[in-house]
Structure 1
Amino acid sequence: MCNVTSIVFKKSSPNSKITCYLGKRDFIDYMDHIDPIDGVVLVDPEYVKDRKVYASVLAAFRYGREDLDVLGLTFRKDLFCSTQQIYPPIDDQKKSLTHLQ
């Protein structure tokens, strides 16, 4: 038997009707490709009804020490932002499920 421990990061909306689960929070840019973002978004269809749900991803470069953030100094640079419709699913965007999903 194999014991595999994995961490899943969870973030919910204030009313818990939309929840996002990610396998990791840190992604590496290899110059020719970036680690794929693997996750699940759980949506309550009765709450969303006929509205659309979009996910926004913001990639930021962090540098410096985190303890200096308390002083009002931010050591981060926003690099990339992308938004995509995730609910209802768009037919041409259907992909195979990943291990986390």
Structure 2
Amino acid sequence: MPPVLPGAFHASDIEYLLGNLKSNDVFAWTKDDYKASLLGQRYFINFIKTGNPNGKNLAVWPKTTATDKVMNILDLNIEAQASPEKFRDRYLFLDGLFIGKK
């Protein structure tokens, strides 16, 4: 029987956002996995069509601009919830290491 893993694995967003869970039989996908996949696909499709991931009956994902002090992230699970990201200092530190200071 395929393993049931707690949480997402590296690059799992590809299968979720492209609706390809059925094509990967390595994992024991649950009804909640398929629900999260459909929810993510709705944001993805809206963004592809309009440049805005938000849409009817979806939790609003606030826009973040380059001048904003805090980036808004979307926790996508069986429901979606936007919140300010919590690790900005870490991301900026890593950007400085790998991209260089600006």
Which structure shows the higher helix fraction? 2
Which structure shows the higher strand fraction? 1
Alignment TM class, shorter chain as reference: under 0.3
Q: Using structure 2 for the length normalisation, give the TM-score.
A: 0.23
Larger radius of gyration: 1
Q: Using structure 1 for the length normalisation, give the TM-score.
A: 0.23
